[in-house]
Amino acid sequence: MKYLILLIGFVSFTSYGQDYEAQGVIDKLSANLKVQTSFYVEFSANIKNNVSGTNESETGKGWVKGDKFYASYGENTIISNGLKTWTVVKEEKTVYETDASDDDEESMNPKKLMTVWEEGFKNKYVTSEKLNGVQVHKIYLHPKDPSKAEYHTIVLYISTEGYELKRAIMKSKDGTVMTYTLTKYDANPSIDDSKFVYDAKKYPGYTLIKD
């Protein structure tokens, strides 16, 4: 689950080392997201590492409302009301409760997936091309301080119409390549706050462990 740093506050890029064409595209993407009070996303993910022989594919979905989120990935679910986070592990029939933290690297927060590019990266515009029949801008990101970064490269595919994120490829230092492709995105859906609170009745027989 450590690869699902999903996701998810908006901070402007500094001008140092930025490509003006790439920055213009990213600014429009960020502007679209900033005005949304909630969103729903579905995505497919592939995690591959040739050295370890890892090649896993899963689908996921997430609901986000402010600092709250609900996300499922494979058979795991993470629920957060902004104060507490509950990680539901089906295989173990266990729920882990922790304090919510924006810095939690084990989080599967879909908002982080949508804003992974925001801090600490230089950007470079590559080209405009077709992705699954949609015209997109292709942008490379590289860390300003590689010694402190988990990823050496992030590749973003942003639609030329509507400026929506369509795919993100994250390449980590250990050779792992994580590819997230968005298959559905709904802006500003109505989501009841109860969606973001763990309900033990929905998980009979599960053990709750509080950190």
Query: Which CATH code for domain 20-210?
Result: 2.50.20.10
pLDDT score of 37? 93
DSSP letter string, the chain = -TT--------PPPSTT--HHHHHHHHHHHHHHHT-SEEEEEEEEEEEETTTTEEEEEEEEEEEETTEEEEEETTEEEEE-SSEEEEEETTTTEEEEEE--TT-TT---HHHHHTTTSSSEEEEEEEEEEETTEEEEEEEEEESSGGG-SEEEEEEEEETTT--EEEEEEEETTS-EEEEEEEEEEES----GGGGS--GGGSTTPEEEE-
- pTM, rounded to two decimals: 0.81
Strand partners, 59: 44
Per-residue pLDDT of the chain (211 residues; tens, 9 = 90+): 444 433 332 223 333 345 889 999 999 998 888 889 999 999 999 999 999 999 999 999 999 998 899 999 888 999 999 999 999 999 999 999 999 875 454 456 777 777 777 778 899 999 999 999 999 999 999 988 888 778 899 999 999 999 999 999 999 989 999 999 999 999 999 999 999 999 999 999 999 999 8
